[in-house]
Each structure stands twice: as structure tokens, then as C-alpha cells.
Amino acid sequence: MARSLMHCLLGSLIAAGLALAAPVEEHHEKRAPQIASISNTLPLRKESYQQKEGSSPSSVFRNHRALNFNIAADDPEAAHNGKALAARNQIAYITDVKAGPGTYQLIIDTGSSDTWFVKKGFQCRNYRKQPIPLEQCMFGPEFQGDFPGGKIAGQRFSIAYGDGNGPYLQGEMGYSDMTVSGMTVPKQQIALATTGAWDGDGVTSGILGLGLPALTEAFNGTSDNAANLVTYDPFVTTVVKQDVPPIFSLALARESNRSFLSFGGVPPEAKTDGNWATTKILKPDGFVWNTPSGTNQTARSPMIIVDSGTTLNLLPYQIAQAINNAFVPRAALDSQMGGWFVPCDAKAPDLGVTIGGKTIWTNPSNMILPQVRHPITGECATGIGATNGFPYILGDTFMQELVSVFDISDKMELRFAKRTD
């Protein structure tokens, strides 16, 4: 399982440490190679929404049949709470994708590889797999008709999200021409979801997976065991085979009109300071943060994944707790909700992520989520959550106000630079 993950997530298992302290000037002996601006750029829209009571997040890291993903705490009540705060996917970045007879709005997700659409006639179910009204899955417009390029006989789509008790989808595999960012990819393999449990936003109709082949979720036959797993070329692999440079980039922001996705380079609209932090697939070095008294704390770090489909930074519990303790006033963990909350006007600590020897500072405004409120106190969720096992995630809280470059050539690198626009 770990081997598959390390080969599929766009080089997104990174060497990273965390620092919470006042930003300091750093000297860098050399910068990353120049990355060309590219015209294959499209704007992204930011969708915020509230989920149904008692639901699990739909844009969390995929359990890929074996990973056990529980959020929030060493506290068993929090670690196994089905609500899981729902904060991790309270924000989604979406884009238009043309496939078959129509154009649909999909969530962009660097943490998964399949591109799927909800098919007309979808059978909505709850997490106990009992039928419920379609409206409760809250999809956008359904994909009309069948696969324009033909259905793949004997092959099916099956994916589970979260801890195995959360959203899941099953469906069919087939082919369709796909147009994204002005680029048309002929006969792209996609999935049409026909049944499952989902917590939608009423706008989006599926997910545009930006991962590599090892995380595709197609199976031969009726069983989802590993022996029946079939890998195929997802969208980013197919794009590269059309002679587009093997790079794509995300420039995410708190404002919808400043968020972009580019294939083959970086968005010309997103300016950077030119100091690129570059890393290969490595084990992170560690975490460093300051306390309200001004002292620094450190901790060794596990593997971390950069995932645009997750809102929070999800870290080991002790590290997440220590960072949340650095808010002024200190953030409080609500075990029932599975997350930390602070007054919405609290002072967030300066969080730095050290990658390839360069510390990238998170904008403190990203650390408090005003759209995610405690149902009783009205306090805001923090941008730091916890999980009790691999993978740990740097989500949108980290990626906002950066240009994030995913180099899927033989280099398999991630590059980050601070935005100045």
C-alpha cells in the first residue's frame, strides 16, 4: 500500500517541517529553474457549503481500501466520531469540465486520480447502504446518457473515502472526450457513478482527479480486491502524452477570482517572489512552532501529502494540539465535533512549513475558518486538524497564497513559491 502511494501522488509525499514563529529573512544560494507561464490556464471557483448533520467529509484522503482514516484525537470519541467536523471539505475549488453532451462543474483533487461524474439515475444511499432520496446526496447536474466513446465491458468503478464508513461510490468505466482549460483529450477513461453515499454541495457533479495511475480505482469483475485492480492513464497522464510539458500547477487563494489551474506551466496571473522551495518524495524532517511565551517547540515529522481536496492541515495529534495551543486565546478541542475552535477574532500563530531547506510561511488569516462555525458557541474552526495515522496532509490552509507546482516528469518534484500578486 505504501509503495503504491509513493508512486502515485504526483511527488506529493514531501520533506517538510513546521515552524510557528515570526518570519525571518532567509538566504537561498540558488533558485529553482524558471518555470514558464502557460496559456493552458483556467480560473477556479471556490465553493463553500455546510454539510448535512451527522455526515462525514467527502473530500478527505482516500482510504484506498486499506488505510484507516480517523480524525481529531487520541480521544477515542473524537477519533471515531462520524461527523469528523466536516471542516475539511467546507471549501472546494471547482472548475468546468466538458465531457459527452455537457459541461459540468467538478472539484479539483490532487489526492485522487479518477475523474468521475454522477450519472443520470444515480441511486443515493446512506452510510449503512440503505436507499435514500437522491436530493440527500446533493449533486449538481447529472451526466446525461452513456459513455460517448463506449463502455468498458466487465470493468467497474469503486472508491471509498475517509475511514471506510464515509462516502463511497460505485459505477461504470468507459471513454469520453474531455475538455479542460481549453485542451481536449480524446477518449479519456472516466467513471460514471451509479450508486453510493455522498455529501455534496448542490453544485458539483463529480471530481477531476489530478493524481497518477497507481491510485485509479477501476476493477475487473465484481470484487474490489487488489487482484482485480486495473490501472489506467488518468487525465494528467493523458495530457502529458499530448506533448504538454509534464507539469501542472495550482494557485489557490481565499478569493475565488485569484485561484487558477494550469497545465504545462504556471498561471501568468499568479506572480511569485521567485524563491522556489523544491522537494522530492522524502520523509519530512520535522515540525517547529512557537508557544505564546515565545519559546520554540520541535517534533519529528511523518510523511505528508499535499492535497487540494482537503481544507485543513491534518497532522499527528500531539503536533496539532501543540499548534492549536499556540493560538491566542488557546484553541479548544471539541471531541464531539472532532476539531479545534477559537473565537473568530483570535490571533493565529505564524505557521511555517520547511521544505527543501526553505520555510514557507502560511498567512495567519488562513488559519481561522470563518465559514466553519461551532453550532453552539459560534466560534470558528482552526485550519489545523489531526488524524491518528498515515497519511498526514497539507491541505488548502497551506496551499492558499502559494503557487504549487507538481512536476510529474522523471524528477517527481513539488515546488512552492509565495504569491506576490
- For residues 174 and 191, what is the distance between their CA atoms, to the nearest angstrom? 6
Residue 211: partners with Cβ closer than 8 Å, 6 or more residues away: 8, 9, 10, 109, 110, 111, 112, 113, 234, 236
E strand or H helix that includes residue 237: helix 235-240
Strands 102-109 and 206-209: parallel
Spatial neighbors of 12 by CB under 8 A, at least 6 apart, are 110, 111, 281, 305, 306, 307, 406, 414
Residue 137 φ then ψ, to 5°: -80, -15
Distances (CA, A) of 379 to 124, 139, 370: 33, 29, 8
| Cβ count within 10 A of residue 323 | 28
CA-only gyration radius of the chain, Å:
20
β-strand partners of 169: 159, 196
* Residue 133 preceded by cis peptide, ω within 30: no
Cell matching residue 395: 491541505
Most distant CA atoms of the chain, gap in Å: 63
Q: Which helix (H) or strand (E) segment is 263 a member of? A: strand 260-263
Cα–chain center distance at 278: 20
List residues with catalytic annotation: 109, 307
What single-letter amino acid sits at 364?
P
Look up residue 255 and give its three cell numbers.
Answer: 478569493
Alpha-carbon gap, residue 231 to 228, rounded angstroms? 10
